[in-house]
C-alpha cells in the first residue's frame, strides 16, 4: 500500500493514558508512615513544595491519631498562607439532564425512566440567571448530561446567553462548565464563548472499576475521558478542573491518581489543574452500587487535608452535596471554593415552592440547603471573607500565569482586595442590615491587615466608589 503522508500522524505522547494502577498500588503498598517520614512530608508541604506520589502515599497511609492531627494542622496553616481567609462562592446551574450514559451512581442515568428529562429553554435559562443574580451570585457553573443535543455549539450558546443576562446591578462574570469530554475542535468552540474552567471528573481512576460503573454509552471509554483535559489544553483551554467521585473505589488510590493527573498536566503543559473536586457519592434515584468504598467523614476530612498539602496552589472545591457541619469542618483544612444557595433540580431557582412539587429532575441529593445569604452570614461570623472575585481570568491571569500565586504577597495584593470589593458590592446590593454591619467590620479589619502589600487607601477609595454606585472594580 502506498504511504500517504497527509494521513500519517505522529502519535501524540501527551494523549496517552497516564494512570498505571500497578504503579499507584505499588506506592500505597510499599510506603510506611513512620513519625519521622510523615513529619518530613508535612514540612516539605509547609515549604510550599509539591508532594510526589511517595510523599502522598505516606500521608494516605497514616493512621496514628497524633500524626493525623499534625496533617490537619499543617493543611490549615498552609491554606492560610497560600489562600488567606477568603472563600470564593459560586452556584451550579443545571441546563439539561438528558443523558445517553448509564452511570450506576447517577440519577440522570439513561435507565432511570422515572426521571423527568428536560433541557431549559433560552427563556428559562434567562429566568434562572435572573433569579441567581437577584440573590447576588456572580459566578456559575453550568452542568449538562451527555447527549447529542448538548453539542459544543449549544454549550457555547448557553454560555453567551448567561453572560448577556443583567438584572438590576446583577451580572454573571464567570461561567464555568461541567459537561462531557469534547474533541479538540469542540473545546475550541466552547473556549471562544468565554468560559472560565472546564471540569471533567474521572469518577474513578481505576480502569477496571470504571468499566463496571459505566455499563453503556460514550462514557464507557475510560481513555477518552482520562485524556479529555489534554485535548482541552491542545485547544488552548488552559483552565481545567479535575475530580474523582469518592465512594466508587479505594479513596487512597483516587487521591494518588489525582496527584498523578496533576503531575501529568504540569509536565506536559506547564500548568496544573485550576481546581480539584472531591464529591462523595450521595443518594440518587436508581443508584446501583454497594457501600464497599464509601468514605467515612473522618477519612474525608483527612483526604481533603492531604490534597491541600500535596498541591498547595490548586483550588479545592467543596459542594453542597455535603451537609453544613461537614462543610464547616472541611473548609478549615484547605477548601478555597464552595457553592451557596444551591438548587440542582432543573428550573428550580426561578420556581416558587408551590410549583416545584412535580419536579423529578434531580441528579442526587443536596445536603446543604442553606441560602447564599445564610452561607455568607456564617462565613463572616467565622472570619472568612466571602469573595465573588473574577479578576484573574478576566485579566488573563490563568494557565501558567496562575502559578504566580507562588509570588510572595499575591494574595494580599490581589485576592484580598478583590474579595473585599466584591463583598462590598454584595452587601450594598443584597445584604441585610445586620449583614452590612458585620460585613463592614470584617472589611475594615482586613483592610488594616494588608500590611503594605496593596495600598489600603486605594482599596478604601474603591470601596467608597462601590458604595456610591460604581460596580465591577478589581485589581
Judged by the rule CB under 6 A, the positions of this chain that interact with ligand SF4 are 99, 101, 103, 106, 108-109, 145-146, 219
Q: Which is nearer to ligand SF4, 336 or 348 (CB)?
A: 348
Residue 183 · residue 125 · CB < 8 Å: no
For residue 412, what is the DSSP state? I
Cβ atoms < 10 Å from Cβ of 80 = 13
Q: Which is nearer to ligand SF4, 46 or 359 (CB)?
A: 359
Residue 133 binds which of ligand SAM, ligand SF4, none (CB < 5-8 A, kind-dependent)? none
Residue 83 binds which of ligand SF4, ligand SAM, none (CB < 5-8 A, kind-dependent)? none
Q: What residues contact residue 317 under an 8 Å CB cut-off, 6+ apart?
A: 241, 243, 275, 276, 277, 278, 335, 336, 337, 338
**How many angstroms separate the CA atoms of 155 and 120, rounded?**
12
Q: Judging by beta carbons within 10 Å of its beta carbon (0-12, 13-18, 19+), is residue 128 exposed, middle or buried?
A: buried
Residue 303 · residue 60 · CB < 8 Å: yes
Pick from 264, 367, 262, 385: which is nearest to 319 by CA? 367
**How many angstroms separate the CA atoms of 241 and 229, rounded?**
8
Q: Which is nearer to ligand SAM, 96 or 315 (CB)?
A: 96
The distance of closest approach from Cβ of residue 93 to ligand SAM in the complex, given in angstroms and rounded to an integer, is 12
The distance of closest approach from Cβ of residue 318 to ligand SAM in the complex, given in angstroms and rounded to an integer, is 13
Helices (H), 214-363: 222-226, 228-234, 251-269, 297-310, 324-331
Q: Which is nearer to ligand SF4, 109 or 282 (CB)?
A: 109
Q: Which is nearer to ligand SF4, 101 or 277 (CB)?
A: 101
The distance of closest approach from Cβ of residue 282 to ligand SAM in the complex, given in angstroms and rounded to an integer, is 4
The distance of closest approach from Cβ of residue 287 to ligand SF4 in the complex, given in angstroms and rounded to an integer, is 11
Q: Which is nearer to ligand SAM, 330 or 419 (CB)?
A: 330
Q: Which residues bind ligand SAM (CB under 6 A)?
A: 105-106, 143, 145-146, 178-180, 200-201, 203, 245, 279, 281-282, 284, 321, 363-364
Residue 281 binds which of ligand SAM, ligand SF4, none (CB < 5-8 A, kind-dependent)? ligand SAM
Residue 143 binds which of ligand SF4, ligand SAM, none (CB < 5-8 A, kind-dependent)? ligand SAM
**What is the separation of C-alpha 192 from the centre of its chain, rounded to a whole number of angstroms?**
21
Residue 252 binds which of ligand SAM, ligand SF4, none (CB < 5-8 A, kind-dependent)? none
Amino acid at each position: 500500500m502506498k504511504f500517504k503522508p497527509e494521513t500519517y500522524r505522529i502519535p501524540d505522547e501527551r494523549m496517552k493514558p497516564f494512570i498505571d494502577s500497578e504503579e499507584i498500588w505499588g506506592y500505597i503498598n510499599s510506603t510506611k508512615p513512620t513519625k519521622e517520614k510523615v513529619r518530613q512530608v508535612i514540612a516539605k508541604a509547609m515549604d510550599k513544595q509539591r508532594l510526589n506520589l511517595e510523599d502522598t502515599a505516606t500521608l494516605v497511609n497514616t493512621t496514628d491519631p497524633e500524626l493525623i492531627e499534625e496533617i490537619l494542622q499543617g493543611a490549615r496553616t498552609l491554606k492560610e498562607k497560600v489562600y488567606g481567609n477568603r472563600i470564593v462562592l459560586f452556584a451550579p446551574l443545571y441546563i439539561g439532564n438528558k443523558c445517553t450514559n448509564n452511570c450506576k451512581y447517577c440519577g440522570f442515568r439513561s435507565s432511570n425512566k422515572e426521571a423527568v428529562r428536560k433541557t431549559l429553554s433560552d427563556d428559562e435559562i434567562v429566568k434562572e440567571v435572573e433569579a441567581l443574580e437577584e440573590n447576588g451570585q456572580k459566578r456559575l457553573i453550568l452542568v449538562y448530561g451527555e447527549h447529542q443535543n448538548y453539542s459544543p455549539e449549544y454549550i457555547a450558546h448557553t454560555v453567551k446567553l448567561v453572560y448577556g443576562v443583567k438584572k438590576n446591578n446583577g451580572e454573571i462574570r464567570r461561567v464555568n462548565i461541567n459537561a462531557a469530554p469534547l474533541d479538540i475542535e469542540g473545546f475550541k468552540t466552547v473556549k471562544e464563548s468565554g468560559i472560565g474552567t472546564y471540569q471533567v471528573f474521572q469518577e474513578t481512576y481505576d480502569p477496571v472499576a470504571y468499566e463496571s460503573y459505566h455499563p453503556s454509552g460514550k462514557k464507557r471509554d475510560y481513555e477518552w475521558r482520562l485524556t479529555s483535559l489534554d485535548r482541552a489544553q491542545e485547544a488552548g483551554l488552559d483552565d481545567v478542573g479535575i475530580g474523582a467521585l469518592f465512594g466508587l473505589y479505594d479513596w487512597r488510590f483516587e487521591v494518588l491518581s489525582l496527584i498523578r493527573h496533576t503531575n501529568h498536566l504540569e509536565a506536559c503543559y506547564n500548568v496544573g489543574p485550576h481546581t480539584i473536586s472531591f464529591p462523595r457519592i450521595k443518594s440518587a434515584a436508581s443508584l446501583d452500587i454497594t457501600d464497599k468504598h464509601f468514605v467515612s467523614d473522618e477519612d474525608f476530612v483527612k483526604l481533603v487535608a492531604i490534597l491541600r498539602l500535596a498541591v498547595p496552589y490548586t483550588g479545592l472545591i467543596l459542594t453542597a452535596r455535603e451537609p453544613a457541619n461537614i462543610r464547616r469542618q472541611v473548609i478549615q483544612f484547605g477548601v478555597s471554593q464552595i457553592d451557596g444557595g444551591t438548587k440542582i433540580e432543573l428550573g428550580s431557582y426561578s420556581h416558587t415552592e408551590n410549583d416545584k412539587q412535580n419536579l423529578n429532575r434531580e441528579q442526587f441529593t443536596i445536603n446543604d440547603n442553606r441560602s447564599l445569604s445564610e452561607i455568607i452570614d456564617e462565613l463572616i461570623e467565622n472570619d472568612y471573607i466571602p469573595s465573588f472575585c473574577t479578576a484573574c481570568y478576566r485579566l488573563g491571569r490563568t494557565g501558567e500565569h496562575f502559578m504566580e500565586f507562588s509570588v510572595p504577597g499575591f494574595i494580599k495584593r490581589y485576592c484580598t482586595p478583590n474579595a473585599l470589593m466584591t463583598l462590598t458590592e454584595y452587601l450594598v446590593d443584597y445584604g441585610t442590615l445586620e449583614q452590612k454591619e458585620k460585613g463592614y467590620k470584617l472589611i475594615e479589619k482586613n483592610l488594616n491587615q494588608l500590611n503594605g502589600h496593596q495600598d489600603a487607601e486605594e482599596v478604601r477609595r474603591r470601596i467608597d466608589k462601590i458604595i456610591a454606585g460604581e460596580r465591577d472594580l478589581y485589581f
